[in-house]
């Protein structure tokens, strides 16, 4: 194998820490380090895991890190210089501010769904448009909600042709440790003016799909829930729809006997399996919910783990941009195997 | 080493599944099996982990388990017959119904804090009264809240003498996957008539402590929060109180630089560490919160993980009742080492 791709993570929050862990599991990538402004429990665990930490301003941060017993390896810019590619996991809008630095240093960078499509010019979902990212300097991995929609719609469009999609995103208010966000006791149409951005965002990776989307924010932290309605171009049986969904990667059909009745149960299942951080990176589709009428109209529920579902896409995006794997399926298979996707045996027992 | 103690788990919910995992990590115990009424995701993971499953009524349950691809090993009663000791983790009140069966079969049994003290006659917390459980047939491990109080109060009573305790229990409404419990938008004094049962319950393991307790239920699932006020018999410095707390097992003082600002951050830390099920079995005491005035009055906050803090106590209780370890400290050290308590390195790397 050629030299490993050197990956740096700029921003070490919900997404950044997961991309770091995922990169460390790839044999064709090496994690150079992560950017972290100040010491905290995330920095502590990163350091204990042997990850190099690069604050934006080491002079300012050094004494704080030293007091916490955590070494720092240099500045954020030092880290970026050492890397072949940067995965920018900073909060929405900050990626835009960082882009000039990546350009100046001639580095490739991946942005997350919180940035505008135009910042990168190419948006990405592995199963939909892997090829478009091959060799690019800047690519944006679409958000958790769009990733969840894209995987599902792609599968049914390939299988039967999709005429029209209507999707209702019931969004978590904030992530589990994000105690300052809300709502805590309301249902917030977000945005009120329709459609929500998810439909147009989906079209950045699946341009030919007609789609209406609405989103509401809810007082929960665990997952998003999607209610998806679709008109297909043909009229398959329910069994045909279910078996098609089962053939595509990163879609998990929840069997009814598992008695998974809510997003809380989905995450509890991830916890029982011993998955790292309980992450359920697959679209979790209630098999029982899938219904198809005699005009080819499909309805279903899927739960989307906002913290983790786009993580495998980031790994695949690195491979595409670096040109180390030109075949989408091969990259996805490798990513899924190393991250344990689609594998519902207790995590530690079965991974390579 | 002598034969391993054969342990059966009756009831495989929040507590039962954790006791099962903890027993499997002990070299002086063998897990015979667990009782599970019907197949679900918990049963699925148990079976994948090689745990034998014994439904109460196998004739009734067999077809359901078969359809789910899960083998059953016999009836609940078969399981109990094979065991030296049963850890009864059934919902509060059911343990009382089960006791006659344990008596009939001449088996030892541990009950949980949801049962009355009188059912067992002996209540248990490892650091407080390990010796009282030695050789007993029936013992009750006190509840999560009482366990958290007992560990803390024991340490300060040994260190300085405790004159009086006043404790406010801010309780989680339900466990993370327990979607039917509330409240979801209220603060419930529980009970309204004071004191709450926690004070008298503490006296089952620390009989000489004067204590007033109140409890409220809140719309959260992650942990309980205790505000504890204590009058000590002497007037130590704050540093003396902090360093005494640091000497006792199963008390973790959260350093302020970790930026752990809520129960959500405590559990996120457990998640980052990769602890099984994210469990934080230690009392999580905010070091910054510890204050001591010039009359020896102490105030502090501690977070208590209701799903897991009594798990190590169940393991110690098995050793005491079976008489295989007469020394409380030796049992606790063994339990803590095998479960990773007090070890804040990423879990998988450092355990034996």
pLDDT tens per residue across span A167-200: 999 999 999 999 999 999 999 999 999 999 999 9
Homologous superfamily of A144-304: Dihydrodipicolinate Reductase; domain 2 (3.30.360.10)
The H helix count followed by the E strand count for chain B is: 14, 15
Query: What does the pLDDT average to over B257-274?
Result: 97
**Range list of H helices, chain A:** 14-24, 41-48, 58-67, 76-82, 94-104, 117-120, 126-133, 144-160, 198-205, 238-247, 263-272, 311-322, 328-339, 347-350
SS3 of A276-314: the string is HHHCCCCEEEEHHHCEECCCCEEEEEEEECCCCCCHHHH
In the prediction, which pLDDT does B127 show?
A: 98
- What does the alpha-carbon distance between residue A168 and residue A230 come to, in Å, rounded to a whole number? 12
- Residue A4 is classified by DSSP as P
- What does the alpha-carbon distance between residue B293 and residue A226 come to, in Å, rounded to a whole number? 54
- What does the alpha-carbon distance between residue B260 and residue B41 come to, in Å, rounded to a whole number? 32
Locate CATH 3.30.360.10 in chain B: 144-304
Tally of residues, chain B: 352
CATH placement of domain A5-142+310-350: 3.40.50.720
- Tabulate helix, strand, coil % of chain B (nearest 5): 40, 20, 40
Q: What are the residues of chain B with a beta carbon less than 8 Å away from any beta carbon of chain A?
A: 17, 38-42, 44-45, 48-49, 64, 67-68, 176-179, 185, 221, 255, 257-262, 264-265, 267-269, 271-274, 276-278, 344-346, 348-349
Locate CATH 3.40.50.720 in chain A: 5-142+310-350
Q: Residue B193, SS3?
A: coil
In the prediction, which pLDDT does B99 show?
A: 98
Is the pLDDT at B20 greater than 90, yes or no? Answer: yes
Q: Are B158 and B187 in contact (CB under 8 A)?
A: no
In the prediction, which pLDDT does B56 show?
A: 87
Instruction: Detail the residues of A annotated as belonging to a binding site for D-glyceraldehyde 3-phosphate.
Output: 143-145, 198-199
Measuring CA to CA, which residue among B321, B327, B311 is closest to residue B18? B311
* Chain mean pLDDT for chain B: 96
Measuring CA to CA, which residue among A213, A223, A202 is closest to residue A167? A213
pLDDT band at A83 (very low <50, low <70, confident <90, very high): very high
Tokens of B30: 């063998």
- Residue B21 is classified by DSSP as H
In the prediction, which pLDDT does A269 show?
A: 97
Q: Are A227 and A170 in contact (CB under 8 A)?
A: yes
> Is B257 in contact with A39 (Cβ distance < 8 A)?
yes
Q: Is the four-CA dihedral B155, B160, B164, B166 of positive or negative sign?
A: negative
Tokens of A236: 């398959």
Find how far residue A119's CA is from the centre of its chain. 18
Is the pLDDT at A1 greater than 60, yes or no? Answer: no
B69 a known binding residue? no
Q: By CB neighbour count within 10 A (0-12 exposed, 13-18 middle, 19+ buried), where does A253 fall?
A: buried
In the prediction, which pLDDT does A56 show?
A: 87
pLDDT band at B348 (very low <50, low <70, confident <90, very high): low
CB atoms near residue A234 (< 10 Å): 10
In the prediction, which pLDDT does A349 show?
A: 59
Tokens of A255: 């069997």
B196 a known binding residue? no
pLDDT band at B148 (very low <50, low <70, confident <90, very high): very high
pLDDT band at B349 (very low <50, low <70, confident <90, very high): low
- What does the alpha-carbon distance between residue A195 and residue A187 come to, in Å, rounded to a whole number? 17
pLDDT band at A346 (very low <50, low <70, confident <90, very high): confident
Find how far residue A321's CA is from the centre of its chain. 17
Is the pLDDT at B2 greater than 80, yes or no? Answer: no
In the prediction, which pLDDT does A5 show?
A: 98
Q: What are the residues of chain A with a beta carbon less than 8 Å away from any beta carbon of chain B?
A: 17, 38-42, 44-45, 48-49, 64, 67-68, 176-179, 185, 221, 255, 257-262, 264-265, 267-269, 271-274, 276-278, 344-346, 348-349
Spell out which residues of chain A touch residue B305, defining contact as CB-CB under 8 Å.
none
CA of A42 vs chain B CAs: smallest distance (Å): 7
Query: What does the pLDDT average to over B77-93?
Result: 97
Query: What does the pLDDT average to over B266-271?
Result: 97
Determine whether A144 is an active site residue. yes
């Amino acid at each position: 194998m050629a030299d490993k791709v050197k990956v740096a993570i700029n921003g070490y929050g919900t997404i950044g820490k997961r991309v770091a862990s995922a990169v460390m599991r790839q044999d064709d990538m090496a994690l150079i380090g992560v950017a972290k402004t100040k010491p905290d429990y995330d920095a502590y665990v990163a350091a204990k895991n042997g990850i190099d930490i690069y604050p934006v301003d080491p002079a300012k941060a050094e004494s704080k890190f030293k007091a916490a017993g955590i070494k720092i390896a240099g500045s954020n810019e030092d880290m970026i210089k050492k890397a072949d590619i940067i995965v920018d996991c900073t909060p929405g809008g900050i990626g835009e501010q960082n882009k000039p630095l990546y350009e100046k240093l001639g580095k490739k960078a991946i942005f997350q769904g919180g940035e505008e499509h135009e910042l990168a010019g190419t948006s990405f979902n592995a199963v939909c448009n892997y090829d478009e990212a091959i060799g690019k300097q800047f690519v944006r991995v679409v958000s958790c909600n769009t990733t969840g929609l894209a995987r599902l719609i792609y599968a049914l469009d390939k299988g039967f042709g999709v005429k029209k999609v209507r999707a209702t995103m019931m969004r978590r208010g904030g992530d589990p440790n994000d105690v300052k966000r809300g709502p805590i006791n309301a249902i917030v149409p977000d945005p009120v003016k329709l459609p929500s951005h998810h439909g147009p965002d989906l079209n950045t990776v699946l341009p030919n799909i007609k789609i209406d989307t609405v989103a509401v924010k809810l007082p929960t932290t665990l997952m998003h829930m999607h209610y998806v309605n679709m008109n297909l171009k043909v009229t398959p049986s329910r069994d045909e729809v279910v078996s098609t969904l089962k053939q595509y990667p990163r879609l998990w059909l929840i069997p009814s006997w598992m008695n998974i009745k809510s997003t809380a149960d989905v995450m509890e299942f991830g916890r029982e399996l011993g998955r790292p951080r309980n992450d359920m990176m697959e679209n979790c589709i209630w098999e029982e919910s899938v219904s198809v009428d005699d005009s080819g109209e499909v309805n279903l529920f899927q739960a989307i783990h906002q913290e983790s579902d786009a993580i495998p896409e980031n790994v695949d995006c690195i491979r595409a941009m670096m040109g180390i794997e030109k075949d989408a399926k091969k990259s996805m298979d490798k990513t899924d195997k190393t991250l344990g996707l689609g594998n519902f045996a207790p995590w530690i027992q079965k991974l390579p």
